Amino acid sequence: MSPERENAERSIALEVSAPVCVGSPLQSTSRDDLLRVAADPALTEDLALALLKRAGLPPEVLEQLAKNRNALKLRKVKVALVCHAHTPRHVSVPLARQFYTFDLLKVALSPRVPADVKVAADELLIGRLKTITIGERLSLARRGSGRVAGSLLLDGETRVMRTALENARLTEAFVIQAVLRPQASAVLVQTVAQHTKWSYRREVRLALLRTEYLSLARALEFSRGLQPALLREVLHNSRLPARIKDQLLRENP
């Protein structure tokens, strides 16, 4: 395991606790005091992290900290700054672009991070999927957001795809999007069609009926009970072979 990954993995679940002396500017509620702390070039990692533990920091204090070059040389400070609920997007997203894979994962999964910044972190992760190792992709498939797991359903490695299907954050919408993509593989379609969870979802079944790789046996199973009009509508936009479409229509007149 690389030092980068080992250090990032270790820090995902850790929060640094720094003692703060009574009377410290960190305890002040004065905006000017907090701005001075954030701008201090001698600000240590522990004090910066203690500052970032304050939930009610004004955005301008966070912007000032983002301008503190010495503080931003510290990886944990950068991650905590991006994960703060009040950090402006124009600060957090450019910083996140500099992050390693597992620091981005921390941002994407943090309950404090605004939704739009989480989406940006997800998109950054998705943009890197073709360049990171299979081990990192397996980890993201297991622990990433539903959006990341949905993208990994299209991974060329079957292990990654199967792991993503078991991700607790994966939703029906992302499964449907994946199987309907032109690049969806036969292995993905067949795996979803046999999955103990996803193969029983009605909307997933309808999506699978629109793909080109569904077997006749599964197509017959999924089409049973559908109204003839709905089945014809689904098959009209389906990529299933003509012989399977004809068989389904004969079985469901």
Q: What is the pLDDT of residue 56?
A: 87
Query: What's the pLDDT at 237?
Result: 92
**Residue 21: what pLDDT?**
41
Distance CA 108, CA 58 (A): 22
196-203 own/partner pairs: CB under 8 Å, 24+ apart: 198/165, 198/172, 201/172, 201/175, 203/172, 203/176
Q: Which helix (H) or strand (E) holds 186?
A: helix 186-193
Say what the pTM is: 0.83
Burial environment of residue 111 by CB neighbours within 10 A (0 to 12, 13 to 18, 19 or more): exposed
Q: How far apart are CA 117 and CA 223, in angstroms?
A: 41
Task: Please report the pLDDT score of residue 28 as a whole number.
Answer: 59
From first to last of its 253 residues, the chain has per-residue pLDDT tens of 554 455 444 443 333 333 444 345 556 568 888 999 999 999 999 999 999 998 889 999 999 999 999 999 999 999 999 999 999 999 999 999 999 999 999 999 999 999 999 999 999 999 999 999 999 999 999 999 999 999 999 999 999 999 999 999 999 999 999 999 999 999 999 999 999 999 999 999 999 999 999 999 999 999 998 999 999 999 999 999 999 999 999 988 7
Per-residue pLDDT at 14? 38
